[in-house]
Amino acid sequence: MILKSECYFGNVPEKFKMELVELYESPFCTIEYNKTFWDENRLNCFSICDNNTLVHLILFTIDQHNKIVNILNRLFELDIKYIKLFSDFIFSLKLQIDKIQINHLTNPTLPKQIFPLKFVCKPYDEDYIIKLPSSNTEYFSSLSYHMRNHTQNYISKIERTFGGYSFQFYEKSDIPESVIDKIFEMSYLRISHKNVKWGYDTSYIESLKDYLKHCGFVSVLKINGEIVAGLIMYSIKNNFFFETTSSKPEYDRNNVGHTCFYLSIMSCIEHNGKEIHLLWGNSPYKQRFLAKRKQLYSVTVFRTPLIKLKSKIYQDLLPVLSPNYIYKLLKGEVRKILGQRAINGLRNLMVNKKI
């Protein structure tokens, strides 16, 4: 094994465009994705060849202010020998980088005997993957009896209530911006009703629109010409990756979100899809649609064991010692004590009444 590497600062060569797709089959590892969501001048590329065969293209940014290098590849596998090669290179530069961060790795915990005092590997998010059969009939038959029954009833109910519906599947440059805006509008309305912070902003949505032109698909369910549910996804080499899905809250009783999701899966099968990645977040509906959980991991590589120790103290110990945390802890204990006293008093009262 002869490993050779080369680094391209401030540039990801176009010659690697197809290699990135072939190596990783992940939308988050493509040139288009990273040029869309990151400042192109901040992008760097580290190529690794094993016996003259290209085995990895690591895309990364350098944050000198926070002394961290962030690897941008996501949903990919990276063996320890390649992590060590890359980290040795970064720490040899006169950049005063303290750590290297990698997220959403698909390979499991790394062997600590390699450099046990300099890295941390831990679970980080999960992906939910639906293995697609060759036909819609086969997929439908694989669903549970209750899932098949509910799905058929939901579609029949929509047809009876509204006299029918339409389902559209847009691809790449044919995706209307107004449709994307409508899906995010529905998403915002749903979240605002729950008093939860919305996970998107205008900048991200505009970047997403640009990226969808390269490998995007959008599906929508319409009733009387109005979009009532929609789903945004990417496709790389017959694999689909769901970005977001939403529906109008006032149509919840008609289960339009479930119906749109189901019809979207059917469309992915019709487009010769092999897998659907529902990505991060555990929701019961994912398992109902036959998605299997896959654990993902993060790896942090520190320049020295001392920096690792300082980071652990800062992240794990100091929050526990903060006055706010101690106050909440004491407040919780006081509530427990008072609550237990109230329970005991109620019990005594009930016993006395019986007597």
The CA radius of gyration of the chain, in Å to the nearest whole number, is: 25
Judgement on whether residues 137 and 121 belong to the same structural domain of the protein: no
CA–CA distance, 189 with 251 (Å, rounded to integer): 13
> Is 257 in the same domain as 182?
yes
Q: Which of 159-163, 231-235, 282-286 has the lowest mean pLDDT?
A: 282-286
In a domain, 353, yes or no: no
Is the confidence at residue 167, as pLDDT, over 50?
A: yes
Which residues 6+ apart lie within 8 Å of 347 measured at CB? none
Q: What is the pLDDT of residue 52?
A: 87
How many CB atoms are located within 10 Å of the residue 219 CB? 24
Tell me, what CATH number does 211's domain have? 3.40.630.30
| Whether residue 21 is found in the same domain as residue 85 | yes
Question: For residue 355, is it within any domain?
Answer: no
In this predicted model, which residue has the larger pLDDT, 137 or 285?
137
Confidence band of 101 (pLDDT split at 50, 70, 90): very high
Claim to verify: residue 147 and residue 264 sit in the same structural domain: yes
137 with 110, same domain: the answer is no
For residue 346, pLDDT over 70 is answered with no
What pLDDT sits at residue 201?
Answer: 87
Reported as a pLDDT band with limits 50, 70 and 90, residue 77 is very high
| pLDDT above 70 for 324 | no
119 with 139, same domain?
Answer: no
Flag whether 323 is in a domain. no
Task: Mark whether 158 and 249 lie in a shared domain.
Answer: yes
Among the listed residues 226, 228, 219, 223, the one whose alpha carbon sits nearest the alpha carbon of residue 269: 219
10 and 31 assigned to the same domain: yes
Confidence at 350, pLDDT banded by 50, 70, 90: low
Is residue 88 within 8 Å of residue 100, measured between CB atoms? no
- Cα separation of 76 and 88, whole Å? 20
**Do 11 and 95 reside in the same domain of the chain?**
yes
- State how far the alpha carbon of 355 is from the alpha carbons of 69, 346, 349, in Å: 72, 14, 10
Same domain, 239 and 303: no
Q: Are residues 140 and 265 in the same domain?
A: yes
pLDDT 10s digits, 4-40:
999 999 989 999 999 999 999 999 999 999 999 888 7
Cβ-proximal residues to 322 (8 Å cutoff; 6+ apart), any chain: none
User: What are the distances in angstroms from CA 156 to CA 38, 151, 289?
Assistant: 45, 9, 19
pLDDT of residue 355: 42
151, 103: one domain: no
Q: Cα–Cα–Cα angle for 288, 218, 142, nearest 5°? A: 25
Q: Is 351 within a domain?
A: no
* pLDDT, mean of residues 252-267: 95
| Mean pLDDT rounded to a whole number for the chain | 87
Q: Domain for residue 257, yes or no?
A: yes
Reported as a single tens digit per residue, the pLDDT across 50-60 is 988 999 999 99
Averaged pLDDT, 99-119: 75
Q: Does residue 345 form part of some domain?
A: no
When divided into structural domains, the chain yields a total of 2
Range of the domain at 251: 133-273
In a domain, 109, yes or no: yes
Residue 140 lies in a domain: yes
Give me the CATH number covering residue 93. Answer: 3.40.630
- As a whole number, mean pLDDT of residues 261-290 equals 93
Q: Is the pLDDT of residue 142 over 50?
A: yes
Give me the mean pLDDT over the 194-198 stretch: 75
As a whole number of angstroms, the distance between CA 128 and CA 130 comes to 7
SS3 for 17-85 is HHHHHHHHCCHHHCHHHHHHHCCHHHCEEEEEEECCEEEEEEEEEEECCCCEEEECCCCECCCHHHHHH
